[in-house]
């Protein structure tokens, strides 16, 4: 069932051609806008990938809410429904990240190219459940999109050393970008990965809890026949 849900979810997303083009174009626009500054370009590229995947996840989960509720009523597990859709989104996000890693490799001379792949992947792995959490807490597209806008825009402009930036979900992207581009030590990698692990765990648990609360049907007893 999990793979069928993932497969159908993937097809649904790929049939929204215009949305998919915008998902591809957003990180590219961010990257092109800062192409002259390597660190900034990669950081904005990664945040663009994260924003695009989170928005895709938001719309995917909001759009499928009624169908998922129907599937849950007739026997689908809310966990399988969430996991299936997340697998499709993460798969799509990692494909997008792979494409942009190739672009960075072709256009920049980066000190640790593998770390660019790592930061793009970690950003996708946070973004997909982040979009799911927002969709399950704010189950309307406009409200959800505005919430994501607030989070991502604040992440971009907040002082990276400040508490606010560290409290936001994509701080690890900034740390891992610094590790990929600048001559810094492994402590930056460690702090980035630790932040990623905590945020990914929180987002995954939050998305799962919200999915179970929203989708789980009532448990009804079977009729007793005299």
- Distance separating the N- and C-terminal Cα atoms of the chain: 37
What count of Cα atoms within 13 Å lies in the side-chain half-sphere of residue 190?
3
1 contributes a contact to another protein by CB under 8 A: yes
Instruction: Write out the H or E segment, with its range, that includes residue 182.
Output: none
Residue 81 near residue 145, CB atoms below 8 Å: no
Q: Which of 23, 76, 130, 133 binds another protein (CB under 8 A)?
A: 76
Quote the distance between the C-alpha of residue 109 and its chain's center: 27
Q: Which of 64, 122, 123, 155 binds another protein (CB under 8 A)?
A: 64
Q: What is the nearest approach in angstroms of another protein to the Cβ of residue 226?
A: 9
Q: Which of 62, 71, 82, 130 binds another protein (CB under 8 A)?
A: 71
Of the candidates 78, 85, 75, the one whose C-alpha atom is nearest the C-alpha of residue 211 is: 78
86 contributes a contact to another protein by CB under 8 A: no
Site for another protein in 14-53 (CB under 8 A): 15-16
Residue 100 near residue 24, CB atoms below 8 Å: no
Q: What is the nearest approach in angstroms of another protein to the Cβ of residue 222?
A: 6
Binding site for another protein (CB under 8 A): 1, 4-5, 8, 11-12, 15-16, 63-64, 66-67, 69-71, 73-76, 217-225
């Amino acid at each position: 069932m999990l793979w069928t849900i993932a497969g159908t979810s993937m097809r649904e997303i790929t049939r929204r051609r215009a949305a998919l083009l915008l998902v591809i174009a957003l990180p590219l626009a961010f990257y092109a806008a800062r192409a002259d500054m390597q660190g900034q370009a990669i950081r904005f590229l990664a945040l663009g990938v994260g924003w695009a995947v989170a928005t895709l996840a938001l719309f995917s989960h909001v759009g499928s809410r009624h169908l998922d509720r129907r599937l849950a009523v007739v026997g689908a597990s809310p966990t399988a429904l969430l996991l299936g859709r997340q697998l499709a989104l993460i798969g799509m996000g990692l494909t997008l990240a792979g494409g942009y890693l190739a672009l960075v490799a072709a256009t920049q001379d980066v000190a640790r190219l593998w770390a660019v792949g790592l930061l793009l992947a970690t950003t996708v792995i946070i973004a997909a459940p982040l979009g799911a959490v927002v969709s399950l807490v704010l189950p309307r597209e406009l409200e959800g999109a505005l919430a994501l806008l607030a989070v991502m825009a604040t992440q971009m402009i907040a002082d990276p050393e400040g508490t606010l930036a560290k409290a936001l979900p994509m701080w690890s992207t900034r740390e891992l970008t610094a590790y990929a581009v600048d001559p810094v030590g492994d402590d930056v990698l460690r702090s980035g990965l630790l932040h990623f692990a905590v945020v990914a765990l929180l987002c995954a648990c939050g998305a799962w809890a919200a999915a179970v609360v929203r989708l789980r049907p009532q448990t009804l007893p079977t009729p007793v026949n005299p």
